[in-house]
């Protein structure tokens, strides 16, 4: 009879009730007073209503009396399970900061690792809601466990986190103080976002680094301005709800795993739309800058550009967009920063973005205006050439469809890396295009030094040489030899890019890439 099992069901409900109390009313209130949601509030805000199925609801540290009867079940500091986000199955894993600050003292290692394994093998995205050390170490752990922990055990969750970047979309939200393993979990993602005034990210927090003589607040050490400029975190928002929305938007451009392709959405923007403003957006004066984001927003489906890493590696703009409803990976030069020249940071940003596009089979569009590698002492001290060669290798390792638009400059080695070598890719050049081994500015004096030294009027001689070379560097001279496939009116860009996206959709591949995503 059903009532025979009522005691066991009552026991289950009691244990579940204990766990739902998390760290207790006082700690929950402290979380709210600090302007932060609890882990369960976060999960229910992130997931589609009523879809979260929690796993491990009765895992925790149980207290028993002398008779062996349960006194209280203290929850572990990880809440996780399956849910749906915009109708798509996902795994969500969240740290409960009310349970000893998310530290190892309240962590059940098997439970903390489980969502990574589940997401990988079910081939669904994982969303990590991170606060605290993410189940990482604590000095107090030595006393509570009676032994020190040797890092690097077999089958650890960090191994799975890194593996997952080659299989499924990984999203990480920094929602409070994030340190140690928590910071690693944040970085081991395809997209990360932190809440500006309540989140801080660091390998070790202020109490630890104070021993090095660095007395800094959380925000001074690991606030959003620090981490976004360093490229450790991709984005920052004012409120937690905005972080959840950013995560949803990011996932909307990606497939659920490498075994699928990203979905097309209904397109309401005409394929043949011609933006008249594109014709005059690039100044005739090569020393003048222009706003590349205006070009991006003019050629992609309206409102579809989702930028990532805007404050890092700023000569390169990266993000997702749509063309006739198809998702694409888009990168573009930004002449406002180093004239669009590749710095070390820009190269690192490019490598990570190209790896992600390759991993998830997204075609790449590159709006190029690159005068070459950054030069000077700082460029040499920051190994720009090594980072640049790695970026060139990343581009040439890709197999996804690729389309380049040379908007203005394509000079030197970096300028030539606007497309993968050794395979077909679409390439167009605007009438504003200019290219060569070196820009004319500054190069003439070096190349024609002997002529200028013997000239009666060096300035007049320089002007004469400039005029002669200016005619020779015309892109139409290059087009005569078919060294550039097609020079176009800038207003034709959107129709051509939409054609590219539709052609690319016919040859989309799935499965493991020839190389994996690197964090």
User: Which residues of 86-226 form beta strands (DSSP E)?
Assistant: 88-95, 126-132, 170-179, 191-195, 200-202
Helical segments of 90-153, H only:
109-122, 141-145
Residue 349's SS3 state is: helix
Beta carbons within 10 angstroms of residue 396's beta carbon: 14
Does position 272 have pLDDT exceeding 60, yes or no?
A: yes
Does position 234 have pLDDT exceeding 80, yes or no?
A: yes
Distance CA 470, CA 444 (A): 11
Distance CA 441, CA 33 (A): 59
Residue 10's SS3 state is: helix
Q: What angle do CA 271, 275, 278 make, to 5 degrees?
A: 130
The highest-confidence range among 137-141, 148-152, 233-237, 457-461, by mean pLDDT, is 233-237
Distance CA 222, CA 220 (A): 6
Q: Rounded mean pLDDT of 59-78?
A: 86
409, β-bridge pairs: 434
Question: Considering the entire predicted model, what is its pTM?
Answer: 0.89
Give the torsion through C-alpha atoms of 448, 451, 453, 459, to 10 deg. Answer: -80
Domain ranges of the chain: 2-252, 276-437+475-505
The whole-chain average pLDDT of the chain stands at 89
Q: Give the pair of three-digit tokens for residue 304.
A: 């579809």
CB 445 within 8 A of CB 452: yes
Q: What angle do CA 180, 257, 348 make, to 5 degrees?
A: 50
- The CA–CA distances, whole Å, from 307 to 255, 279, 314 equal 18, 24, 12
Q: Give the pair of three-digit tokens for residue 172.
A: 């990480």
Q: Give pLDDT, residue 72.
A: 86
Q: Tens digit of pLDDT for each residue in 320-360?
A: 999 999 999 999 999 999 999 999 999 999 999 999 999 99
Does position 214 have pLDDT exceeding 90, yes or no?
A: no
The number of residues making up the chain comes to 519
Does position 111 have pLDDT exceeding 80, yes or no?
A: yes
> In CATH terms, is domain 2-252 a member of 3.40.605.10?
no
H or E segment to which residue 301 belongs: none
* DSSP letter string, 361-413: T--EEEEEEE--B--SHHHHHTTHHHHHHHHHHHHHH--S-EEEEEEEEEEHH
- Output b/e per residue, 398-418; b: 16+ Cβ within 10 A: bebbbbbbbbbbbbbebbbbb
Q: Which of 473, 487, 497, 458 is nearest to 323 (CA)?
A: 497
CB 198 within 8 A of CB 34: yes
Q: Which of 306, 314, 398 is nearest to 349 (CA)?
A: 314
Q: Give the pair of three-digit tokens for residue 495.
A: 């129709």
Residue 74 banded pLDDT, cuts 50, 70, 90: confident
Distance in angstroms between the alpha carbons of the first and the last residue of the chain: 56
Distance CA 103, CA 101 (A): 5
> In CATH terms, is domain 276-437+475-505 a member of 3.30.2320.20?
no
CB 102 within 8 A of CB 135: yes
Pairing status of strand 200-202 against strand 306-308:
unpaired
Q: Rounded mean pLDDT of 393-404?
A: 95
Residue 132 banded pLDDT, cuts 50, 70, 90: confident
């Amino acid at each position: 009879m059903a009532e025979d099992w009522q005691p066991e069901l009552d026991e289950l409900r009691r244990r579940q009730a204990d766990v739902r109390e998390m760290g207790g009313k006082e700690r929950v209130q402290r979380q709210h007073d600090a302007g932060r949601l609890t882990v369960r509030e976060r999960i229910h805000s992130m997931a589609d209503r009523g879809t979260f199925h929690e796993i491990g609801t009765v895992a925790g540290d149980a207290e028993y009396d002398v008779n062996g009867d349960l006194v209280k079940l203290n929850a572990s500091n990880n809440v996780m399970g399956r849910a749906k986000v915009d109708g798509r199955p996902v795994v969500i894993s969240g740290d409960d900061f009310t349970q000893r600050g998310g530290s190892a003292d309240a962590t059940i290692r098997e439970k903390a690792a489980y969502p990574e394994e589940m997401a990988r093998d079910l081939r669904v995205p994982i969303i990590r809601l991170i606060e605290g050390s993410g189940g990482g170490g604590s000095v107090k752990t030595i006393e509570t466990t009676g032994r020190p922990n040797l890092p690097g055990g077999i089958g650890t969750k960090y191994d799975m986190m890194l593996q997952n970047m080659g299989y499924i979309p990984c999203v990480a939200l920094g929602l409070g103080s994030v340190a140690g393993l928590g910071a690693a979990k944040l970085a081991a993602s395809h997209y990360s976002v932190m809440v500006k005034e309540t989140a801080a990210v660091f390998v070790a927090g202020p109490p630890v680094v104070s021993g090095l003589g660095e007395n800094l607040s959380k925000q001074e050490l690991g606030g959003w301005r620090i981490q976004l400029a360093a490229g450790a975190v991709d984005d920052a928002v004012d409120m937690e709800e905005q972080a959840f929305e950013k995560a949803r938007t990011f996932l909307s451009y990606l497939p659920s795993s490498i075994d699928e392709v990203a979905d097309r959405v209904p397109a309401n923007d005409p394929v043949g739309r011609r933006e008249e403003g594109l014709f005059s957006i690039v100044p005739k004066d090569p020393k003048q800058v222009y706003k590349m984001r205006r070009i991006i927003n003019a050629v992609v489906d309206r409102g579809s550009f989702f930028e990532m890493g805007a404050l890092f590696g700023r000569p390169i703009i990266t993000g997702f967009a749509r063309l006739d409803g198809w998702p694409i990976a888009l990168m573009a030069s930004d002449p406002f920063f180093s004239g669009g020249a590749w710095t070390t940071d820009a190269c690192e940003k490019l490598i990570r973005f190209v790896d992600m596009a390759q991993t998830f089979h997204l075609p790449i569009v590159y709006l190029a205006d690159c005068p070459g590698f950054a030069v000077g002492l700082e460029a040499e001290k920051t190994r720009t050439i090594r980072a640049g060669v790695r970026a060139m290798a990343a581009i040439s390792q890709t197999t996804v469809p690729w389309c380049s638009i040379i908007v203005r400059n394509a000079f030197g080695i970096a300028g030539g890396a606007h497309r993968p070598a050794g395979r077909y890719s679409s390439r167009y050049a605007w009438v504003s295009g200019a290219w060569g081994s070196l820009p004319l500015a500054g190069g003439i004096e070096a190349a024609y030094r002997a002529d200028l030294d013997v000239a009666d009027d060096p300035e007049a001689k320089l002007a004469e040489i400039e005029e002669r070379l200016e005619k020779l560097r015309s892109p139409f001279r290059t087009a005569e030899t078919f060294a550039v496939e097609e020079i176009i009116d800038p207003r034709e860009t959107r129709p051509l890019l939409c054609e590219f996206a539709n052609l690319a959709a016919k040859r989309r591949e799935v499965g493991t890439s020839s190389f994996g995503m690197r964090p």
